[in-house]
Chains A and B, each alone.
Chain A
Amino acid sequence: MVQINKECCKGCGRCVTACPKKCLELGGEMNAMGIKAAKYKGEGCISCGICFYNCPEPYALRVEK
């Protein structure tokens, strides 16, 4: 299951494009920087970790299997 730390997300969308299950989207809650973070649609995550490796931020995403 993907977990998003919205304060670290810059909203680039690399994870959204990369996710093979298309279970991420942009336009989530706004963080302190004023960026609408990526968010999990709530279902479909297979914990593959692809979003983590596509994300340029170390702590914006983590995936629990």
Chain B
Amino acid sequence: MATIEQKGMYKVFPRSGKNVSYTHYCPGCGHGIINKLIAEACAEMGLQDETIFVDPVGCGVFTYYYWDAAHISAAHGRASACATGVSRARPDAVTIAYQGDGDLGAIGFNNAFQAASRGEKFGCIFVNNSLYGMTGGQMAPTTLEGEKTTTTPFGRDSSLTGYPLHVCEVFNQLKAPVYIARVSVADTRRIMQAKQAIRKVFQIQKEKKGYAILEILAPCPTNFKMTPDKAAQFVIDEMEKEFPLGVFRDETADHVNPKSVEVPLVKSCMELFQEKDSIPAAINDAGFAEKRFKFAGYGGQGILSLGLTVAEAARLERRHTLWFPSYGPEQRGGSANCSVVVSGTPIGSPTVEHPDVLVAMNQPAYERFAADVKPGGTIIVDSTVPVLVEPPEGVKLIKWPAIKMAEEFGVPKAANTMMLAALKKFALTGLTAENLETALIASFKKKPELGEKNRELLRKAEAHE
């Protein structure tokens, strides 16, 4: 004897400390009908052990109590982003995101839209009941014009709140989705169509064909303030006028997944961040006097890479090292600066408030940082900079023609290398000449011919008196 009964659901739902066999949905809720269809499709297609459901925030939140498969609960609106991660981490799984219209259409629209645009390999089942149900029936992007909700008590006024958002139609502008359809659960015929469409979404995921979205119009008798029958009729008479049912796209038959680029597998973060011939960790050496540097100028002078070169030299020497670019508001005026700390012991703060050495390549940089330099410290300022403010007492000022020399050598971009020459010549870094040169060459790793050229220029510049 054949029996028509629920498949794919747990027998008992342990909600709120009680073991019950009824759902949390209100009487006549569309979610209930849809939940049953989804569980049935999952079970009948034999996919329960392969399916990972991504559950939403909203009325659909408790599906993990119902569907007998794997679940992950996403933050509000984030089910599609979460499903992206799940489907990428577990490409063999069937990933299904279940979202409502507040969740997908409002707070999570961009997540869902971008996932669709990327053609993520999951199916999105999108329940549209034209309002925020769980929170008490507020207007959602899908609320119909003139529809009364708790936040539109006189009916949605399109002059104030715009027009209903047609998710399927919008998604249909994207290239990647393979299946886009809208169905309803307002009556038996529509429920049977919805059942077929849900199976289709599972089938597409089973065959790894790509992104599919199925919008399901659902009645919310509680917030429509209607009887279940009237609410279902409202879906047919009003919602379907705004949101016509149908298949907007079905490219499953001839869909070919784009071939992905082979990416070598990274085994660990250490491997990701360290080069193959990585330098061993820093050595603790309390005898090494900590050096704090500030490099400043305008963007394009190679300020940040000059700092990096010094930091790299320190790393080669197995010092504790930090390089810290600063993005203050002056960044927008074209100024750039970075801090470098080189220490014999682990470094607490990467910020450099009082540098031992300031390298200033333009006037604003000099004027901004000169007063901060420690007594006994050194300022190297480009000789083009008019020094209108005296350096603090006990601070040595070196005017160094970095920009001029770079121009004379025919490589104006190498002004930062000229500055490195000064740091090296006056032994301001506490680092060996060899390491400074090695770091300089390493900074041109992508253009090796420039590395040697810069070393040559560095040595020439050092000869300057």
Contacts and interface: CB of A to CB of B under 8 A. Distances in A.
Interface of A: 5, 7-8, 10-14, 17-18, 35, 47, 49-50, 52-60, 62-65
Given A58-B6, A65-B1, A53 B66 contact: no
B28 A56 contact: yes
A10 B27 contact: yes
B133 to A, nearest CB: 13
Given A14-B232, A54-B33, A56-B29, A62 B23 contact: no
B344 interface: no
Size category, B interface: 35 or more
9 contacts: A8-B22, A10-B28, A13-B28, A17-B232, A53-B37, A56-B27, A56-B35, A59-B21, A65-B3
Contact of A52 (B4, B9, B21, B232): B4
A13 B3 contact: no
B36 to A, nearest CB: 6
A35 B27 CA distance: 10
Interface in B393-434: none
B65 to A, nearest CB: 11
Contacts of B25: 56-57
Given A10-B26, A12-B221, A64-B1, 15 more contacts: A5-B21, A12-B27, A14-B228, A17-B229, A50-B188, A56-B25, A56-B33, A56-B35, A58-B21, A58-B35, A59-B11, A59-B22, A62-B4, A62-B5, A64-B4
A58 to B, nearest CB: 4
Contact of B22 (A50, A52, A60, A63): A60
Given A17-B229, A54-B188, A59 B28 contact: no
Interface in B223-264: 227-229, 232
Contacts of B286: none
A8 B25 CA distance: 11
A63 B2 CA distance: 9
A47 B1 CA distance: 11
B30 A65 contact: no
B461 interface: no
Contact of B2 (A5, A52, A56, A65): A65
B192 interface: yes
B228 A7 contact: no
A56 B5 contact: no
B320 interface: no
A56 B187 contact: no
Contacts of B195: 53
Contacts of B296: none
A53 B221 CA distance: 18
A10 B33 CA distance: 13
A49 B37 CA distance: 13
Given A13-B28, A53-B33, A63 B4 contact: yes
A56 B32 contact: yes
The 3 A-B pairs with the shortest beta carbon distances in the complex, nearest first, are A56-B32, A12-B28, A12-B27
B148 interface: no
B5 A52 contact: yes
Contacts of B33: 14, 53-56
A26 to B, nearest CB: 11
A7 B22 contact: yes
A53 B189 CA distance: 10
